[in-house]
Amino acid sequence: MKKPFKLLTAAISVSLAATAFIAVPAHADNASPSGDLVLERNQDFATFNPDLAQNDSIFIQQQIFEPLFMINQDGKNVSPWLAKSASVASDKVTWTIKLRTDVKFSDGTPMTSADVKFSLDTAVKGNGWGFLDTAIKSVTATAPDTVVIVTNTPWAPLLSDLACFSNAILPNNYGGQTADAFFKNPIGTGPFKFDSWVPGSYIKFVANKNYWQPGKPYLNSVTWKYVPDDNTRALDLQSGQSDINEFPPATSVAQLKTTPGIVVTPFPAAQSEYLAMNEKVPALADVHVRRALSYALDRKSIIKVVLAGLGVPSNSILAPNVGYYDPKTPGIQFDLKKAAAELAMSKFSKGLKLEYLSSSGSVEDRAMSSIFQADLKKIGVTLTIKAQEPKVKRQTQKAMNYQITSTAWTMDISDPDELMTFALSPKEGGTFDFYTNYNNPSVVAAVKAGQSTVDPVARQKAYSYAQTTTANEAMMMYVYNAPYIYSWSKKITGFQVTPTLQYHMENVKKSN
């Protein structure tokens, strides 16, 4: 019983030691931030409430609100952020979190354990992201700089969960306001503070002079502008009307690279593109059919067409930038001979007809389904393509009235637990394993072991087993891992994005 505890303590200590660089000794007022940055994106900001946030709001909220722990640049682990350290008792369920004592909210009020308790208690009850915190039994503020968290069972992903944006630290009791009033004019510990918001147009933040990292942020203001059209965003950047373009289409990268004054960078991303197969369809319940289909998927051609070559064929349910990803996972790759051989071993060796449900208006889906259709024909499988509006497609998928459909996942936390539970534990995940109806009790057991086993070596063993088994059984077709693409003006330096989409705008500078 003692060994795992020692290993976990060692793992946490290593993680904390590796990030000693952020251990700032004392607070210092920010000297003089300068430069006004405009970042353009194709999604309109929706809410400051972390519990209701989706991609439209998450990256923006993170400039105002910060969590206790922060996902590292490699996306695989976390480091203390508003917390100073974490340790777990020998009972493996009692965690003591020490807080930084130099953190202030943007109105100058110091952050204390009361704020942390309030924030985590609120997050646990959340309808939106509260499911990430189901392991948390209680949060107690034992001293102004100490919080004790007790989990229901030993819970290895706790620090990763605490690093999620949904567990950000807000002022106790919303600073004496109602939640609605607070989220209209929020206060946080982040590098920027709220300035103004014109829905449908832009949201503007200005430097938080009380920020706890001395000398940061370097920028005077950041404006997040909603520009839905890809071409207009590219032209805005070219004309100098914006500084950063979020997610230009992969197919435009070659052209952008030749544009003077513009930098284009793909950042490694913890995201995966899959093709789900509905096992309620008799043919798709046959593992040989699933393997045959997966062998017939020409991932490299798809990457060439859809991502202009900017991506890698996927071999595991986990993306390479997720903790416990196993590079040796035997994910099926394109091989038409093996596809024909697998089909011959199935009950459908004489050929079969299947339907691909694609998202109307999606260039990616259209290209992927057409390439797949052409290759399947060569092994005697007729694939028809049916397109539905994205929300309708989603409903069809949830009702399990589809046969094959595209689906994707982007990690919210560095630990694989969230995805593994969602995708491989039919009961706990609540979605019949990505609406595939796949169910392998030994994989479910491995996912549970990964949650509760504190020993990193044992966790790796459990997650490797889950990755290998699901790859062999072609639980889904793993298609590709695409990067996050950004283009920006050469006036901008220090812009980095983590695999889980933290922007760290406090490190960004803009020259004249």
Q: Which residues bind other proteins (CB under 8 A)?
A: 44, 46-47, 52, 54-55, 127-129, 131, 180, 198-202, 225-229, 231-232, 235-236, 238-239, 241, 389-392, 394-396, 398, 408-409, 422, 429-431
Residue 446: which of 471, 426, 424, 429 has the closest Cα?
Answer: 424
CB of 467 to other proteins, least distance (A): 20
Q: What does the alpha-carbon distance between residue 159 and residue 163 come to, in Å, rounded to a whole number?
A: 6
Nearer to other proteins, 223 or 464 (CB): 223
CB of 51 to other proteins, least distance (A): 10
CB of 86 to other proteins, least distance (A): 26
Contact between 121 and 169 under an 8 Å Cβ cutoff? The reply is: no
In DSSP notation, 309-350 reads T-SEE--SSS-TTSTT--TT-------HHHHHHHHHHSTTTT
Bridging pattern class, strands 352-359 and 404-410: parallel
CB of 304 to other proteins, least distance (A): 27
What is the per-residue burial (b if ≥16 Cβ within 10 Å, else e) of 317-351? bbbbbbbbbbeebebbbbeeebbbebbeebebeee
CB of 230 to other proteins, least distance (A): 11
CB of 241 to other proteins, least distance (A): 5
Give the number of other CB atoms < 10 A from CB of residue 178. Answer: 10
Nearer to other proteins, 276 or 462 (CB): 276
Residue matched to tokens 């300035």: 195
Residue 29 phi, psi (nearest 5): -65, 145
CB of 199 to other proteins, least distance (A): 6
CB of 131 to other proteins, least distance (A): 7
Nearer to other proteins, 129 or 503 (CB): 129
Nearer to other proteins, 267 or 432 (CB): 432
Nearer to other proteins, 241 or 496 (CB): 241
Q: Cα torsion at 443, 446, 450, 456 (round to 10°)?
A: -120
Nearer to other proteins, 382 or 395 (CB): 395
Bridging pattern class, strands 69-71 and 78-80: antiparallel
- Please count the CA atoms within 13 angstroms of the CA of 160 that sit on its side-chain side: 22
Contact between 119 and 175 under an 8 Å Cβ cutoff? The reply is: no
CB of 54 to other proteins, least distance (A): 5
Nearer to other proteins, 200 or 327 (CB): 200
Q: What are the angstrom distances between the C-alpha of 394 and each of 133, 184, 439?
A: 26, 31, 21
CB of 421 to other proteins, least distance (A): 10
Q: Extract the tokens encoding 357.
A: 């449900």
CB of 128 to other proteins, least distance (A): 6
In DSSP notation, 436-490 reads T----HHHHHHHHHHHH---HHHHHHHHHHHHHHHHHTTSEEEEEEPPEEEEEET
Residue 278: which of 390, 401, 158, 157 has the closest Cα?
Answer: 401
Nearer to other proteins, 144 or 430 (CB): 430
Largest CA distance in the chain: 74
Residue matched to tokens 């035997």: 330
Bridging pattern class, strands 36-41 and 94-99: unpaired
Question: What is the H or E stretch that residue 55 is in?
Answer: helix 55-61
The terminus-to-terminus CA distance of the chain in angstroms comes to 59
β-pair partners for 81: none
Nearer to other proteins, 108 or 200 (CB): 200
Residue 136 phi, psi (nearest 5): -80, 120
CB of 415 to other proteins, least distance (A): 15
Nearer to other proteins, 154 or 157 (CB): 157
Nearer to other proteins, 434 or 480 (CB): 434
Nearer to other proteins, 394 or 461 (CB): 394
